[in-house]
Amino acid sequence: MSSTRAAPLESVRGLRLFESRDEKLLLAHQWEVLLERFYVHLPLKERMLGVRPVEQARRLQEDLALHPDDASFMEALLRSCTGLRDFHTMVDLPEPWSRLTAFLPVQLHEYFDEAGAARYVVGALAPGVDLGGDFVRGVEVTHWNGEPLAHKVFRLGLSTAGANPAARRRRALESLTWRVLKYGLPPDEDFVFLTYLGKQGPADLKLSWLVREAGPRDRPHAGWAVAEGLDEHSIQLQRLRAESLFPESLSFRRVETSSGTFGYLRIAHFVVDDVEGFVREVERVIRLLPETGLIIDVRGNPGGSIPAGERLLQFFTASRIEPEPFSFRCTDLTRELSESVEQWARWRPSLRAGAATDELFSEGFPLTPVAQANDVGRIYKGPVVLLCDALSYSATDVFIAGFMDHHLGKVIGVDTHTGGGGSSMGSHQQLVRELGPASGGLLKPLARGAGLRVALLRSTRVGAQRGIPLEGWGVEVDVPYRYTREDVLHGDVDLLNRAGQVLTAAV
């Protein structure tokens, strides 16, 4: 299958995932090791969610006979992952499944009517797709296989790994028509019936789930620490220069609102190899934008480099920036990691002490050097607001928390909370490479491209919220907002007007 040609989902359901029983046992055992010896949020998840993931991993190995086929084992393993509500801690399935994305050739967007009821409209169709004369952009969809669509979104949210109710709802909306199969369950059905309000009244449309291999610019999982983000809001940008030096990460323009003209900076993700270059480019862009007010948009931003985000905060305040501290859970293997890898040397004394004092967590240290977080200082003198949603995750959670904790401006959210990903993540492959024999033989390489990821360090907030973890809760926004029909069909016009009002009130 090529990266551009789609095939029916039913044609790949029988693909082999594992070559042997030993492959399944190895994957489940390595999952157990990561959870028990490295997973920083294990105590939090056990208390908050009432789950026992280490015991689940052990039972999966002991009861392997109950999962004789690949699909059954895959579902049991992925449901264990999803139950943690943590996109930093996941299983990546082996090839060829890891290369596949399932999708419907339509995007559905949610808005709220004047009575506060959720409604769903077609936001876009896949290029070149014609699904019928009156099934077009803007048509309202009411049911999914006969189920009211609002109820379908609620039920689907329960099966996502969203860390809080707002995140589960937003993840459900995203996964209605798009599923990355590397780390998620495929759709239950091979096709769906959508009921929509056509010109002649309610009508049904049958859509088949399709799959294709991921191309180089496909959007990856929103929780992956080195993911690229995708601007899902289709804003038509009038750039002040042809494009940013980081066009996949940054875009900018002037926006006209009911309250005046303001600058607009869209940060799609913080995935950058050249952090210094990224920070300098944001500095350049901000200096070009009007100082009447600035709207920073990080909706859908899945994260990336934590320093790339935290180093931007200084541009909007004369106060000193305090980066968030990060801590390990105190275990024998996190202590061994600090002994073996110089990168983690700062945590070494407290991890050593933790073994004797039964402390849960090590001392916290920032991942962004304090000097770098303050090496430029304030360059923007106007008011600033931040737009976010519950897909704003990981490094973006940290950025938003820093924005709020340093009182840089109001946070406007189309969801009540951000995604709640308060971690720095490590891969199983990285841990095998860095610890090797020092793990006492517990860490072993996986087969055929399978992978595991784990939240290694947890972040806690600073300022008035000092010590509160980001994981799970995320950041509660200052100004809640709900999309209107005008927003989803006309480039966020009402949202930008609301942002303009907040900027004007801040002057």
pLDDT at 163 over 70: yes
Number of other CB atoms surrounding residue 369 within 10 Å: 13
Secondary structure class of 36 (helix, strand, coil): helix
Q: Which of 4-8, 157-161, 277-281, 338-342 has the lowest average pLDDT?
A: 4-8
Amino acid at 321: I
Q: Count CB-CB contacts under 10 A for residue 208.
A: 14
Matching residue, tokens 């200052």: 478
Positions of E strands within 82-137:
90-92, 100-103, 106-112, 118-125
Q: Label each residue of 475-488 as H, E or C.
A: CECCEECCCCHHHH
Whether omega for the bond prior to residue 383 falls within 30 degrees of 0, making it cis, is no
Poorest-pLDDT segment among 179-183, 210-214, 231-235, 432-436: 231-235
* Cβ–Cβ under 8 Å, residues 435 and 333: yes
Fold of 15-99: Histone Acetyltransferase; Chain A (1.20.920)
- The whole-number pLDDT of residue 9 equals 94
In this predicted structure, what is the pLDDT of residue 218?
Answer: 44
Cα dihedral 263/267/268/274 (nearest 10): 140
- Which tens digit of pLDDT belongs to each residue from 247-283? 889 999 999 999 999 999 999 999 999 999 999 999 9
* pLDDT at residue 225, as a whole number: 29
- Return the percentage of the chain with pLDDT > 70, whole number: 93
User: Residue ranges of the alpha helices (H) in 146-249?
Assistant: 149-158, 165-175
Mean pLDDT of 105-131: 92
Q: How many residues does the chain have?
A: 507
- Classified by CATH at the fold level, domain 250-506 comes out as 2-enoyl-CoA Hydratase; Chain A, domain 1 (3.90.226)
Identify the pLDDT of residue 236: 22
Residue 74 has pLDDT above 80, yes or no: yes
- Axis-axis angle for helices 332-340, 428-435 (nearest 10): 70
Contact, 391 vs 302, CB < 8 A?
Answer: yes
| 304 backbone φψ class: left, alpha, beta (φ>0; ψ -120 to 50) | left
* Structure-block tokens of residue 495: 């949202």
CA dihedral sign of residues 395, 396, 398, 402: positive
Checking DSSP bridges between strand 191-198 and strand 140-144, what pairing results, if any? antiparallel
In this prediction, residues 50-58 reach a mean pLDDT of 96
Is residue 392 over pLDDT 70?
Answer: yes
Domain boundaries, the chain: 15-99, 101-213, 250-506
Q: pLDDT band at 386, cuts 50/70/90? A: very high
pLDDT, one tens digit per residue, over 171-219 is: 999 999 999 888 888 899 999 999 999 999 999 999 999 999 865 444 3
Task: Give the model's pLDDT for residue 244.
Answer: 67
Task: Give residue 268's identity as a one-letter amino acid code.
Answer: A
Q: Find, among 234, 221, 248, 152, the residue nearest to 391 by Cα.
A: 221
- At the fourth CATH level, the homologous superfamily of domain 101-213 is PDZ domain (2.30.42.10)
